[in-house]
Amino acid sequence: MKEQFLGVDVSSYSYEQLKQNIITDIDQNKQSFIVAINPEKILQAQKDADLMRLLNKATYQIPDGVGVLLASKLNRGNISQRVTGIDMLLTLCEQAADHDKSVFLYGAKPGVADKAKDSLKEKYPNLKIAGVIDGYEKDENRIIQTINETQPDILFVALGSPKQEYWILDHMKDLNVKIFQGVGGSFDVISGRVKRAPDIFQRFGLEWLYRLVTEPWRIKRQIKLPSFLFKVWKDKR
Ligand code: UDP
């Protein structure tokens, strides 16, 4: 269930399939690692062999963003639905609430994960949130110890990319956690600190346009999309 773009694997699972896989992974005591893939990360991996290896080590590389969908179309692949990092996080919280699993929020500026916790509790009253730690805590041992003491099934890591992915891979073996997901700026959005694009933009896959207008410095990232698609097209030939 994977497709490859310029050497980087992307899974073609839908939310439905991922939902089932994750609960099975937890019940079978299997550690899984979810990473969101977008064109920017694929391009970065071209210049960084460690990053390429890291991305390909993940269990589920979710297709976050229209760029990956377009690349799959170019390659006549099967990825037809975006699976965004934040929607995956929300899906996992919903699943956790339904299946009596717990989650832990690690990352973002002090106070943000706490606010995200409150808003997740409001959305999913049955959700067990084992704990939160901000992303600027320096004491690695304290972080590991706190997470292990609270024994969450699912750990969301919001340190930005690729920092969070390196962190997950470096600490997976020390942590008594089943599912790891790198979630970037998701806590900022869930806490209400940063606004997500209105529904209409999301529905038409135009979230990038909204972000471009509200955070114009993102042009530096978005300008890379055409060159990414060209490289994918050339690579195929
Ligand atoms: N962050 C953090 N610790 C750090 C660096 C960043 O917790 O040492 C947090 C930051 O506060 C923000 C998130 O990581 O909440 C990065 O968000 P961004 O939208 O930049 O993520 P990306 O676009 O890389 O997925």
Ligand 1 contact via 89 beta carbon (within 6 Å): no
Q: From CA 63, how far away is CA 201, in angstroms rounded?
A: 18
pLDDT at 128: 98
First to last CA, the chain: 22
Bigger pLDDT: 107 or 215? Answer: 107
Bigger pLDDT: 65 or 93? Answer: 93
Q: From CA 98, how far away is CA 125, in angstroms rounded?
A: 10
Across the chain, mean pLDDT equals 94
Ligand 1 contact via 99 beta carbon (within 6 Å): no
pTM: 0.93
pLDDT at 78: 94
What are the backbone angles phi and psi of residue 101, rounded to the nearest 5°? -110, 160
Question: How do residues 151-177 score in pLDDT, each as one tens digit?
Answer: 999 999 999 999 999 999 999 999 999
Burial class (CB in 10 A: 0-12, 13-18, 19+), 173: exposed
Whether pLDDT at 231 is above 80: yes
Which whole number is the average pLDDT over 182-194? 94
Q: Looking at residue 155, what DSSP letter applies?
A: E
| Helices and strands: H and E segment counts in the chain | 13, 8
Residue of 159, 188, 217 to test ligand 1 pocket, by largest number of atoms within 8 Å of CB: 159
